[in-house]
Amino acid sequence: MPKVLVSDKLAKEGIEILKQAAEVDINVGLTEDELCEIIGDYDALVVRSGTQVTAKVLQAAKKLQIVGRAGVGVDNVDVPVATERGVIVVNSPGGNTIAAAEHTVAMLLALSRNIPQAYVSMRAKEWNRSKFTGNEVYKKTLGVLGLGKIGQEVAKRCRSFGMKVIAYDPFITEDAAGPGIELVDFEDCIKRSDYLTLHLPKNKDTLGLIGAKEFEMMKDHVRIINVARGGIIDNDALIAAVKSGKCAGAAIDVFETEPPDFSNELFDLANVITTPHLGASTEEAQTNVAIDVAEQIVDVFAGRSARSAVNMPALSPEVLAAVQPYLPLAQRMAALAVGVMEGRCHKVEVKFLGELAKTESGPVTRAVLAGVLGPMVAESVNLVNAPVVAKSRGIEVVESRNPDFDDYVSLLTVTVTTDKGSTQVSGTLFEGREMRIVQLAGFPMDFVPEGVVLISDHSDEPGVIGSVGTLLGNEGINIGGMYVGRKAARDKAIMILSVDNDVPDAVMSKLAELPAINTVKQVHL
């Protein structure tokens, strides 16, 4: 059974799903070194935002197939290193959207009406109504930076308060923004807003996005809410803006390091209200994200694709269902091409014909690359890291498609080019599921690519097939199936033999020495 390490708190519903397919260990609060010491035993790791899945952790994770991030932001996972190492990273893109949006709105109202400050004052047995007079949000302008899932839900709720909503998001269209939201540029957004709310991922473009210069451009008495990530607002600039009165108040849920350094001046400012990264902390959201990542881990263990992988192309369930059966075919076709080819590979071409040309092809090309590269490189190559490994080896990858093709409903053709020439394989799925190779190295054929196969290239003359059969029989190797392809009688021919066991090197040498056999290769599919 595969082993899963859960290193941050995860809802029990997720643990139960994982336990159906794996042995699950829960070990929360590990340091990086402690995690490095034990991670080598695990096939999957589940984290929230507490665990830092660093390059060092990933290097130590010898068996790791998948990291499940029970939440949205994957800034605590070194995704490029995970990708290089073929570790799939999945998250739960929508499981906590509503929780984070509701928390943002709660922070916005609490900030406007000084609710936390008034509560603290009453706990001190004070009755001070005038001190906590606030502002209405009605008719105020809300600027949303990052109009993705959470930003849109916040916008919707704030419009119902009668706020004017403007938003900056360079990756979203007017149509996707939804009604009543004015898309503006960054400067316009920060200049016009009475309230500014952040819903961006943390990355090199957004780190420090709001600094002293940006506060300077804002309206006097702007209020700012950050339920996205610490570091997107520069902490010193925020403190300065609040102290000068430029910023009337800030509501902050997220910090550059968590837990934060409480000696920081931010925590002494009366009009800064804070929560300890509670955006996603509702029972509903935690159940959603736990189930979401657990199901994906179980899918990956079962050889299925993960629906929300961040280092694989995102596919809709329909597209995934259409391409999934082609993945093993693609990988086996590539392994056959590599088995037959001579020389150093520098180009892989993948051609999609018929119905297959009409669907998303990324995962199929990745499967081809994994099949080509698997036997060539020492590291393990899979759908996640295949493009990175191909690039690092200088292998050119070319995809082409032709939907107007009548010979088969769908046909996949892989051509591997080396310094010695090109090898082409074509394959299809009969009735959408039975794998068939229909052409290999220019020879038409029809065989099922599975198990151990011997591929020989010989001259088409009487007795060759018999001599191969006799030799294998004498060595106790059973032949399960045979296909012979030739272009014309007495011309060059190709023979594919499915055998029940591995053929030892000594027997391979004897086969190669048979008269009329030019080459013979063994391929494991």
Hey, which residues are catalytic here? Answer: 229, 258, 277
172 binds, among ligand MLT, ligand NAD, none (CB under 5 to 8 A by kind): ligand NAD
Nearer to ligand NAD, 225 or 453 (CB): 225
Q: Rounded to an integer, what distance in angstroms lies between the CA atom of residue 379 and that of residue 392? A: 12
252 binds, among ligand NAD, ligand MLT, none (CB under 5 to 8 A by kind): none
330 binds, among ligand MLT, ligand NAD, none (CB under 5 to 8 A by kind): none
Q: Rounded to an integer, what distance in angstroms lies between the CA atom of residue 325 and that of residue 303? A: 11
232 binds, among ligand MLT, ligand NAD, none (CB under 5 to 8 A by kind): none
Structure tokens at 98: 């509503």
In order of 189, 369, 400, 439, the CA distances from 414 in angstroms are: 50, 10, 11, 10
227 binds, among ligand NAD, ligand MLT, none (CB under 5 to 8 A by kind): ligand NAD
CB atoms within 10 A of CB 120: 12
Which residue minimizes CB distance to ligand NAD?
Answer: 148
**Least distance CB 205 / ligand MLT (angstroms):** 17
CB 108 within 8 A of CB 225: yes
**Least distance CB 260 / ligand MLT (angstroms):** 14
CB 107 within 8 A of CB 273: yes
**Least distance CB 172 / ligand MLT (angstroms):** 19
HEC string for 445-507? EEECCCCEEEEEEEECCCCHHHHHHHHHHHCCCCEEEEEEEECCCCCEEEEEEEECCCCCHHH
**Least distance CB 300 / ligand NAD (angstroms):** 22
Which residue minimizes CB distance to ligand MLT?
Answer: 71
Q: Which residue ranges make up the site for ligand NAD (CB under 6 A)?
A: 71-73, 96-97, 100, 145-151, 168-172, 199-202, 205-206, 227-229, 253-254, 277, 279-280
**How many residues make up the chain in this entry?**
525
Instruction: State the DSSP string of 221-272.
Output: TEEEEE-S-TTSB-HHHHHHHHHHTSEEEEEE---SSSS--TTSGGGG-TTE
**Least distance CB 154 / ligand NAD (angstroms):** 9
**Residue of 307, 305, 369, 297 whose CA lies nearest to 338:** 369
48 binds, among ligand NAD, ligand MLT, none (CB under 5 to 8 A by kind): ligand MLT
Nearer to ligand NAD, 73 or 485 (CB): 73
Nearer to ligand MLT, 51 or 413 (CB): 51
Backbone angles phi, psi at 229, to 5 degrees: -150, 145
**Least distance CB 278 / ligand MLT (angstroms):** 9
Nearer to ligand NAD, 43 or 78 (CB): 78
Nearer to ligand MLT, 272 or 289 (CB): 289
Q: Which residue ranges make up the site for ligand MLT (CB under 6 A)?
A: 48-49, 71-73, 96, 279-280
| Cis amide bond preceding 387, omega within 30 | no
**Least distance CB 286 / ligand MLT (angstroms):** 8
Q: Rounded to an integer, what distance in angstroms lies between the CA atom of residue 197 and that of residue 209? A: 13
CB atoms within 10 A of CB 494: 21
CB 103 within 8 A of CB 278: yes
Nearer to ligand MLT, 49 or 114 (CB): 49
Nearer to ligand MLT, 21 or 228 (CB): 228
Beta partners for 519? 457
CB atoms within 10 A of CB 349: 18
Q: Rounded to an integer, what distance in angstroms lies between the CA atom of residue 52 and that of residue 76? A: 5
97 binds, among ligand NAD, ligand MLT, none (CB under 5 to 8 A by kind): ligand NAD
Looking up tokens 């099922």 gives: 448
**Least distance CB 307 / ligand NAD (angstroms):** 15
332 binds, among ligand MLT, ligand NAD, none (CB under 5 to 8 A by kind): none
Amino acid at 472: L
Cα angle at 184 between 224 and 107, to 5 degrees? 20
Structure tokens at 272: 């800064």
Nearer to ligand NAD, 211 or 451 (CB): 211
